[in-house]
Amino acid sequence: MITVIQQKYLLQGAVFGARGDSCSCNPCDCNPCKCADGVRGNDGLSYPLWRVSGYYIETGTIQDIEVSDLSIMSLTQPVSVESNELWQEIFLIDARATSEQASALLSMFERQLDSVPAEVAPLPHTQRAVYRAQLAYHPAAEGNPTLHATFRPDQPSLLRASSDPQAYQARAWDYDGPMALRNTFTFKKM
């Protein structure tokens, strides 16, 4: 016999994203970007320096766990600054989230999160590493929302290791600037 636990949630928030390009878009969220003067690979494609996709929860609960004003996002970046041959995707969860809140956010959004740039070959479908990071998403009444992010891949910030035994060490990442607002959402299942 299989038991299925029905997840209940009530969430309002925003879906956001950006990619690290020297593109005329501010921020660039093109995928692929055809207007960038960014790093060109041997194949002639313009690779971003990184790409993120995320969810900001303005208000809400998942399984009666309060998750308001928290963010979860995926970050994809090359394993090495000098090469576009190997890429890695990780998840970042707001450092203010408790372990219970982090688990709730993962249960809700892990399957939907994907920040792999279109220029990069699909990555293997493995369990991605999850880290705590300083994430401060600020909605905007007009214009683009902003994100202040500081990520350091040290041991205390690791919440869950990758299932890939060959996984590379994630690289530190800092960002302070605009994000593209992809959509707003209201998810309800009670």
What residues make up the domain containing 155? Answer: 9-182
Mean pLDDT of 122-138: 93
The single-letter code of the amino acid at 133 is A
Question: Is the residue at 100 inside a domain?
Answer: yes
pLDDT bracket for residue 2 (50, 70, 90): very low
Question: Is the residue at 110 inside a domain?
Answer: yes
Checking if the pLDDT of 40 tops 60, the result is no
**Which pLDDT does position 124 carry in this prediction?**
84
How many domains does the structure of the chain reveal?
1
Question: Is the residue at 116 inside a domain?
Answer: yes
CB 135 within 8 A of CB 175: no
The 3-state secondary structure of 41-89, one letter per residue: CCCCCEECCCEEEEEEEEEEEECCEECCCEEEEEEEEECCCCCCCCEEE
Question: Is the residue at 30 inside a domain?
Answer: yes
Q: Is 167 helix (H, G, I), strand (E, B) or coil?
A: coil
Mean pLDDT of 25-33: 86
What mean pLDDT is reported for the chain? 89
Question: Is the residue at 126 inside a domain?
Answer: yes
Question: Is the residue at 60 inside a domain?
Answer: yes
Residues 88-113 pLDDT 10s: 999 999 999 999 999 999 999 999 99
Question: Is the residue at 69 inside a domain?
Answer: yes
Does the bond joining 153 to the residue before it have cis omega, within 30 degrees of 0? no
Distance separating alpha carbons of residues 158 and 55, to the nearest angstrom: 20
Question: Is the residue at 2 inside a domain?
Answer: no
Choose between 173 and 36: higher pLDDT.
173
